[in-house]
Chain A
Amino acid sequence: MSKHKVLSIIGVAALLAVMSVLPFFAREYYVEILIIFLINIILVTSYRLIATTGDWTLCHVVLMGAGAYASALMAKHFGWPFWMTMPLAGAAAGLVGLGIVYPLLRTVGFGFFIASLAVGEFIRLVWIKFHTPFGGPRGMINIPYVGELGPIDFYEAIPYYFMTLMITSGCVFIMYRIDRSRIGNTFKVIYEDDILAESIGIRVGRYRSFAFVLGSFFAGIAGALLAHRLSAIDPHQFGLDEMVYLLVWVVVGGTATFAGPVIGVAVMTFLFEWTRPLLAWRPLFFGAILIGFLIFLPGGLESLISKFAFWNKKQKTT
């Protein structure tokens, strides 16, 4: 194995070790923050997966919502347990994604961006309009908690945290393998030159839909995790405000590498909590960050890492 690969594996193992120990040293409030942080990692990584084909969407949090509502409905009305509703929620979000991607495929770039916003808003309006089964503007409450497994009660923060940590690790690992696979490479090839790709027989439309449905599936899983932690969801949680935060995470982190968006969520989650006393100033603060990064560091924080590595290499050879 190459030195690089060994270092990466050690790095990830160290990270997981830290993440496993952290909740025991934190107040319960912060454990809840960490749970949301892990859920957002799934969300942002699945967003990046879609973006590797060049499709930037504005409806990704809506697909998270689709998973949240699906899991909530299955748990409340059919009484199914979480280990069943979670993957089915992912499937439901994937199906919603499949339903909306075909008209979206007729657009590219900025057109796609705006069209996805329109579709997302339409779905949210369906949730707002229909009291049955979605609960209308107030959303759904009394979503069943995950329950118990022997002595472990997932109602408690720390058990739920570890469950989420395992699910997040699993999802991220799968998405990483896909990113590095032939399919992942094809996504990137399509991003670079879709006309050239078509001319050598790559069915660009098919790959774009696949990326979209896959990303939606994982967004749905994140939604299920959210719904069963909060026990209540409403349509406004999945609106444009949340979507803009997602965009801030990817801009701050960068999307060129797989880890970039995760760095973005981590940094922004930290800043979020750190600036909690200044809550009223938050929109201004985050708007400024977004603009600042776009102007001064459009590659995101991950580009600093590669610049540092390059500088380091130069130092060694001079």
Chain B
Amino acid sequence: MAMFEAKELTKYFGGLAALSDLDLEVEAEEIRGIIGPNGAGKTTLFNVISGVYRPTSGEIIYQGKEISGLITSKIAEMGVVRTFQRTALFHKLTVMGNVLVARHLQDKGGLFRAIFGTNRRIDIEHEEKALEIIDFMGLSDLKNELADNLPHGHQRSLGVAMALAAEPKMIMLDEPVTGMNPTETKHMTDLIRKVRDEWKMTILLVEHDMKVVMGLCDKITVLNFGKKLADGLPEEIQENSDVIEAYLGGEEVAELLGE
């Protein structure tokens, strides 16, 4: 049974079909790239899966359970967390503060603890886990820095750190390397691979940087106008003429792929 499946997933905004009869099947611990031109429906897909939008029709099945129609926090509780294309952070908190907030789901203390702040041991556990993740993302030096003051690349890393702090089983990364320089991009790419290899997570990745996508993803799904254009291994996608055409004409994509 696949880790995650979307069946004939459709989302209309008024008369506009943002997603149209989309089928998707992702295996556990797979890194699946979701690519397509702007407006193809990639972020809408993430929004629908994570419960920000209700699908117009179709099914979303995660670990055998239907999750369409559930609220976002419930879906996060079940193990599906996403990052945002926009910089989504708690600006007035520090890096450490942000990651600690994201530990919310993992706090088993209950209401009494939430009001009276008891159980220092749980606090310490959370701090240690938060530090682990901050280290992992390479943000240790900045852990007491205000999120607002971070350079863009680090802010995006913080977004990923927060998603990881919620300890998901499936993580959806929305353009994680946008605005990063080549060094930062390589660093993030390695981290994503490690997240799958060491933490055994399933990853959906929306990204425009083709080098990253082709190098990182096990399989790629291409969207265009809300529909699935193609599905397959990176090599297959690179040679798919429909895909090449959809991306502003063949020459430029071929160049991007280093042919």
Contacts and interface: CB of A to CB of B under 8 A. Distances in A.
B115 A200 contact: no
A201 B115 contact: no
Contacts of B165: 200
B113 A203 contact: no
Given A181-B114, A192-B92, 18 more contacts: A177-B115, A177-B116, A181-B117, A182-B113, A182-B115, A182-B117, A183-B114, A183-B115, A186-B104, A195-B88, A196-B90, A197-B73, A197-B101, A199-B50, A199-B84, A200-B163, A201-B105, A202-B104
Interface string A187-221: 00100110111111111110000000000000000
A185 interface: yes
Interface stretch (B75-83, B132-140, B178-186, B197-205): B75-83
A203 B73 contact: yes
Given A189-B101, A192-B91, A195-B88, A200 B117 contact: no
B78 to A, nearest CB: 10
A178 interface: yes
A153 B101 CA distance: 50
B166 to A, nearest CB: 5
Contacts of B162: 200
Nearest to B51: A198
Interface centre among A186, A196, A204 (most CB of B within 10 A): A196
Interface string B35-73: 000000000000000111000000000000000000111
A203 B90 CA distance: 17
B191 interface: no
- What are the 8 closest A-B residue pairs judged by CB atoms, nearest first? A201-B105, A201-B76, A198-B72, A196-B88, A182-B114, A203-B73, A200-B102, A183-B114
A200 B50 contact: no
A200 B104 CA distance: 7
A201 B88 contact: no
A204 B72 CA distance: 10
B183 to A, nearest CB: 27
Nearest to A196: B88
B195 interface: no
Contacts of A205: 71
A200 B52 contact: no
Interface of A: 177-178, 181-183, 185-186, 189, 192-193, 195-205
A46 to B, nearest CB: 16
A200 B198 CA distance: 21
Contacts of B102: 200
A182 B104 CA distance: 10
16 contacts: A178-B115, A182-B107, A182-B114, A182-B115, A195-B88, A198-B52, A198-B71, A198-B73, A199-B76, A199-B163, A200-B81, A200-B104, A200-B163, A201-B73, A201-B76, A205-B71
Interface of B: 50-52, 71-74, 76-77, 81-82, 84, 88-92, 101-102, 104-105, 107, 111, 113-117, 162-163, 165-166
A181 B71 contact: no
A147 to B, nearest CB: 33
B114 A200 contact: no
A202 B73 contact: yes
Nearest to A195: B52
A167 B73 CA distance: 37
A201 B77 contact: yes
A35 B137 CA distance: 56
Contacts of A186: 101, 104, 114
B71 A200 contact: no
Contacts of B89: 193, 196
B237 to A, nearest CB: 29
A218 to B, nearest CB: 14
B146 to A, nearest CB: 13
Nearest to B166: A200
A126 B20 CA distance: 50
Contact of B116 (A181, A189, A200): A181
A182 B154 CA distance: 26
Q: Which of B73, B76, B81, B91 has the most CB of A within 10 A?
A: B73
Nearest to B109: A182
Nearest to A185: B101
A158 B52 CA distance: 56
A282 to B, nearest CB: 38
B73 A196 contact: no
B90 A189 contact: yes
B88 A193 contact: yes
Nearest to B93: A189
Q: For A181, A182, A193, A195, which residue has the most chain B Cβ atoms within 10 angstroms? A: A182
A200 B162 CA distance: 8
B105 A200 contact: yes
Given A177-B115, A199-B81, A200-B165, A192 B73 contact: no
